[in-house]
């Protein structure tokens, strides 16, 4: 990178995603990038974590077609208003013009719900808990940015159907728990807000956004949870028969995430040497680097192989870097790619029956070859340290104020709850509303816009 992270975060980010071998941005369609093998392996590790959360909570994986007929897409009015301007349209096949235009899903509500209406007959079919991991498409007109604002998106979406509003509310609470567990594993301290009505998902009854605060002091939405109530089940006619033979519309929720999660990890944990990966998703958790001196190669190479074998047997993802390069060049390569733990073994380590361990955040110690099990603790400690640092950064930049003032980061002020006051404040500080903190803390005082009694806290920030 030819800028430091402090100097120019956005430029550093743009460079580090390619330098760390995550993606290649030279594909000749704007905003559509290539996942390189290393980046794709990390993306798949993140997917595996999501799948594990889905398994734990009884969601089933489906896979729906990419193309949605225009007539289906038109069914929910707010939804088409929200997404209509950013869909890609398929109009022809071969030399032939299609009878009905097809769009590339920007999200999959309209595709899934057409078929949910066929799958759900009685209360015994509920709750229906499904998810899919697919590519979605949005014709972004703003400047694109790897993982953060792209036109083809690696996307996760859970869709559920329930008997009534309360059961759907339980699902929202489960989703909040899933988000906590998932982002904790990824060392991403987040903020949750119930979005203001003027910024909820197109078609939702309400939306909860999960954001991380990036070093640029702009927030990045990394997940969202939506309560749809009957907003989609009415136009798509998704009903069930209850025990008494009465028919009702189902209540629905969704939970969505995307490759932005990786964008958050790069942004929060990287430094001028490269990215830093939480141990749960690092394709290589421990890299072993032989420090060779002429005439003493044998014992060092032997020790390296033995340590590799021992750690692999412990279930760690280990790589022994035997390339014909200097140790310094190897350090450089693996720091760039964010490997959590590096083990160096030289002749003096061999003599002492030890190895030298250096974590990606610079902690260095010697550990005995008899206690290699310690490396599990070192990985966990590394995860905790990068989490704590990001937490401190976030907490330093949340400003709870009683009156509106321009500050960098996130501003939190008492609010009467009226849209006009929210929009007025957005304009005054040139930020957008994140919404009401979730869960909602007690509020006292008066609205920072109109001076009437405050009913909520409202958070404002600049965002990606």
Alpha helices by DSSP H, 253-296: 260-269
Candidates 1, 17, 22, 111: give the one binding a second copy (CB under 8 A).
Answer: 111
List of residues 6+ apart from 35 with CB closer than 8 A: 22, 23, 43, 154
For strand 247-249 and strand 128-137, is the pairing parallel, antiparallel, or unpaired?
A: unpaired
Shortest CB 96 distance to a second copy, Å = 8
**d(C-alpha 133, C-alpha 130), whole Å:** 11
Candidates 20, 46, 87, 318: give the one binding a second copy (CB under 8 A).
Answer: 87
Q: Which of residues 296-355 bind a second copy (CB under 8 A)?
A: none
Q: Do residues 344 and 291 make contact, with C-beta atoms less than 8 angstroms apart?
A: yes
Shortest CB 432 distance to a second copy, Å = 22
Candidates 14, 15, 19, 36: give the one binding a second copy (CB under 8 A).
Answer: 36
- Choose the stretch contacting a second copy; rule: CB under 8 A; options: 83-91, 318-326, 403-411, 431-439: 83-91
| Cβ proximity to a second copy, 17 vs 219, nearer residue | 17
Shortest CB 390 distance to a second copy, Å = 28
Asked if 123 is part of the footprint of a second copy (rule: CB under 8 A), the reply reads: no
DSSP-assigned beta bridge partners for residue 224: 209, 256
| Cβ proximity to a second copy, 64 vs 438, nearer residue | 64
- Indicate the burial class of 148 (C-beta count within 10 angstroms; 0-12, 13-18, 19 or more): buried
**d(C-alpha 430, C-alpha 161), whole Å:** 38
**d(C-alpha 433, C-alpha 427), whole Å:** 10
Total residues contacting a second copy (rule CB under 8 A)? 51
Q: Do residues 258 and 154 make contact, with C-beta atoms less than 8 angstroms apart?
A: yes
CB atoms within 10 A of CB 134: 19
- Choose the stretch contacting a second copy; rule: CB under 8 A; options: 96-104, 165-173, 179-187, 341-349: 96-104
Q: Do residues 236 and 228 make contact, with C-beta atoms less than 8 angstroms apart?
A: no
DSSP-assigned beta bridge partners for residue 191: 211
Sign of CA dihedral 424, 430, 432, 437: negative
Shortest CB 283 distance to a second copy, Å = 11
Q: Name the DSSP class of 122.
A: B
Asked if 124 is part of the footprint of a second copy (rule: CB under 8 A), the reply reads: no
Q: Do residues 112 and 154 make contact, with C-beta atoms less than 8 angstroms apart?
A: no
At 194, give phi and psi (nearest 5°): -80, 115
| Cβ proximity to a second copy, 121 vs 384, nearer residue | 121
**d(C-alpha 111, C-alpha 107), whole Å:** 9
**d(C-alpha 335, C-alpha 289), whole Å:** 12
Asked if 69 is part of the footprint of a second copy (rule: CB under 8 A), the reply reads: yes
Candidates 84, 298, 373, 441: give the one binding a second copy (CB under 8 A).
Answer: 84
Q: Which of residues 135-194 bind a second copy (CB under 8 A)?
A: 135, 137, 139, 152, 154
Shortest CB 105 distance to a second copy, Å = 11
Candidates 19, 40, 163, 348: give the one binding a second copy (CB under 8 A).
Answer: 40
Burial readout 216-245 (b: 16 or more C-beta within 10 A, e: otherwise): bebbbbbbbbbbbbbbbbebbebbbeeeee
Shortest CB 132 distance to a second copy, Å = 8
- Choose the stretch contacting a second copy; rule: CB under 8 A; options: 26-34, 188-196, 249-257, 381-389: 26-34
Asked if 85 is part of the footprint of a second copy (rule: CB under 8 A), the reply reads: yes
Q: Do residues 154 and 114 make contact, with C-beta atoms less than 8 angstroms apart?
A: no
| Cβ proximity to a second copy, 42 vs 276, nearer residue | 42
Asked if the bond preceding 146 is cis, omega within 30° of 0, the reply is no
| Cβ proximity to a second copy, 58 vs 328, nearer residue | 58
- Choose the stretch contacting a second copy; rule: CB under 8 A; options: 31-39, 161-169, 360-368, 395-403: 31-39
If phi > 0 it is left, if psi is from -120 to 50 it is alpha, else beta; for residue 108 that is alpha
**d(C-alpha 41, C-alpha 195), whole Å:** 33
**d(C-alpha 361, C-alpha 377), whole Å:** 15
- Choose the stretch contacting a second copy; rule: CB under 8 A; options: 78-86, 194-202, 249-257, 412-420: 78-86
Asked if 28 is part of the footprint of a second copy (rule: CB under 8 A), the reply reads: yes
Asked if 246 is part of the footprint of a second copy (rule: CB under 8 A), the reply reads: no
Candidates 4, 6, 52, 86: give the one binding a second copy (CB under 8 A).
Answer: 86
* Window 47-66: contact mask with a second copy (x via CB under 8 A): -------------xxxxxxx
Shortest CB 279 distance to a second copy, Å = 21
- What does the binding site for a second copy look like in residue numbers (CB under 8 A)? 24, 26-29, 32-37, 40-41, 43-44, 60-67, 69, 72, 84-96, 102, 104, 111, 114-115, 118-119, 130, 135, 137, 139, 152, 154
């Amino acid at each position: 990178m030819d800028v430091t992270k402090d100097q120019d975060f956005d430029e550093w980010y743009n460079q580090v995603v390619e330098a760390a071998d995550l993606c290649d941005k030279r594909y000749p369609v704007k905003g559509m990038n290539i996942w390189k093998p290393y980046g794709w392996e990390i993306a798949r590790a993140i997917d595996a974590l999501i799948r594990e959360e889905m398994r734990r909570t009884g969601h089933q994986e489906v896979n729906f077609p990419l193309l949605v007929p225009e007539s289906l897409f038109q069914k929910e009015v707010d939804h088409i208003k929200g997404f209509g301007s950013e869909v890609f349209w398929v109009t022809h096949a071969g030399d032939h013009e299609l009878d009905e235009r097809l769009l590339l899903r920007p999200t999959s509500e309209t595709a899934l719900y057409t078929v949910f209406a066929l799958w759900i007959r009685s209360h015994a079919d509920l709750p229906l808990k499904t998810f899919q991991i697919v590519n979605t498409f949005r014709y972004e007109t703003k400047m694109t940015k790897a993982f953060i604002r792209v036109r083809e998106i690696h996307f996760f979406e859970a869709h559920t159907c329930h008997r009534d509003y309360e059961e759907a509310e339980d699902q929202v609470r489960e989703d909040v728990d899933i988000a906590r567990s998932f982002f904790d594993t990824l060392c991403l301290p987040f903020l949750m807000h119930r979005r203001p009505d003027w910024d909820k998902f197109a078609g939702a009854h309400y939306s909860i956004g999960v954001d991380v605060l990036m070093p640029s002091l702009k927030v990045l939405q990394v997940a969202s949870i939506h309560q749809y109530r009957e907003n989609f089940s009415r136009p798509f006619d998704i009903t069930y028969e209850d025990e008494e033979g009465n028919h009702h519309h189902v209540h629905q929720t969704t939970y969505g995430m995307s490759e932005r999660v990786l964008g958050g990890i790069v942004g929060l944990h990287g430094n001028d040497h490269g990215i830093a990966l939480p141990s749960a998703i690092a394709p290589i958790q421990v890299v072993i680097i032989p420090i060779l001196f002429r005439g003493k190669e044998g014992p060092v190479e032997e020790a390296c192989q033995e340590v590799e074998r021992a750690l692999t047997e412990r279930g760690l993802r280990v790589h022994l870097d035997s390339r014909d390069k200097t140790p310094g060049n190897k350090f450089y390569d693996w720091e760039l790619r964010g490997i959590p733990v590096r083990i160096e073994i030289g002749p003096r380590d061999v003599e002492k029956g030890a190895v030298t361990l250096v974590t990606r955040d610079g902690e260095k110690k010697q550990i005995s070859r008899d206690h290699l099990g310690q490396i599990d603790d070192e990985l966990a400690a590394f995860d905790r340290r990068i989490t704590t640092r990001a937490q401190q950064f976030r907490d330093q930049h949340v400003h709870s104020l009683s009156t509106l003032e321009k500050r960098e980061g996130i501003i939190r002020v008492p609010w009467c709850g009226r849209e006009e006051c929210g929009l007025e404040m957005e304009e005054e500080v040139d930020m957008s509303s994140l919404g009401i903190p979730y869960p909602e803390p007690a509020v006292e005082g008066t609205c920072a816009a109109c001076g009437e009694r405050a009913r909520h806290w409202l958070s404002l920030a600049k965002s990606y």
